[in-house]
């Protein structure tokens, strides 16, 4: 909507200028030019607001990638259902994990800020889902339960990781992980931001 308003205002500026040129006359021309100046100021304001909103979304935007629900199977085990956002239910996966927390991890490629400002989103690929204990002693007693979301390593991420020092358009290449407590009956949503993964409870 803001884009449309900005375009309309600048079209009005052009119309006023053309009218001032085609219909000469000191008073009429002055009125047209004043109107054009007012519209130009409004158009500049709207354009600046549009750029600010684009930059804000680029550097702080969140993209939903999956939803998670959990079911307790025992005091130390739970079932997790992972459903990719925007995909068919057939792509959902159900995993048996141990712990009182679950975690997602994957690779992130953060582009140089000037590319981010232009709207180029950080590259990411979720690679693993796992269960873990918040208690360090419990975690030491049991090996972690981890399942792959992708069958193989992310070769693109690995290539950029090793080439990073020689790529001026890449700011950082790293792994990102986020974890949350098991909350049966609650839908938890996984988002990716320009800097990594984020988990939120779904709005009710």
User: How many other CB atoms sit within 10 Å of the CB of residue 32?
Assistant: 20
Would you give the end-to-end CA distance of the chain in angstroms? 27
d(CA 202, CA 120): 26
Contact in structure between 54 and 118 (CB atoms under 8 Å): no
3-class DSSP assignment, residue 33: helix
**pLDDT bucket at 7, cuts 50 / 70 / 90:** low
**pLDDT bucket at 114, cuts 50 / 70 / 90:** confident
* pLDDT at position 157: 92
pLDDT digits (tens, 9 = 90+) for 165-201: 899 989 999 999 999 999 998 999 999 988 899 999 9
| Sheet containing 63-74, strands listed edge to edge, beginning at the edge strand earlier in sequence | 93-98, 77-84, 63-74, 188-193, 196-201
Nearest by Cα to 198 from 58, 41, 45, 63? 63
Greatest mean pLDDT among 14-28, 35-49, 126-140:
126-140
């Amino acid at each position: 909507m803001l884009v449309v308003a900005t375009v309309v205002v600048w079209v009005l500026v052009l119309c006023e200028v053309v009218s001032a040129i085609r219909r000469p006359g000191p008073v009429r021309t002055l009125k047209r030019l004043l109107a054009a100046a007012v519209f130009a100021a409004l158009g500049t304001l709207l354009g600046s607001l549009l750029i600010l909103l684009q930059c804000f979304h680029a550097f702080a935007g969140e993209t939903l990638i999956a939803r998670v629900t959990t079911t307790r199977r025992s005091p130390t085990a739970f079932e997790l259902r992972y459903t990719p956002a925007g995909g068919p239910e057939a792509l959902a996966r159900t995993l048996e994990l141990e712990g009182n927390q679950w975690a997602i991890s994957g690779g992130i490629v953060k582009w140089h800020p000037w590319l981010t400002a232009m709207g180029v989103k950080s590259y990411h690929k979720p690679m693993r889902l796992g269960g873990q204990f918040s208690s360090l002693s419990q975690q030491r007693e049991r090996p972690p339960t981890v399942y792959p979301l992708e069958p193989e390593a992310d070769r693109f991420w690995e290539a950029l990781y090793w080439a990073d020092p020689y790529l001026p358009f890449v700011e950082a290449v790293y792994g990102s992980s986020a974890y949350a407590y098991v909350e049966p009956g609650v839908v938890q949503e996984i988002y990716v931001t320009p800097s990594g993964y984020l988990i939120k409870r779904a709005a009710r």
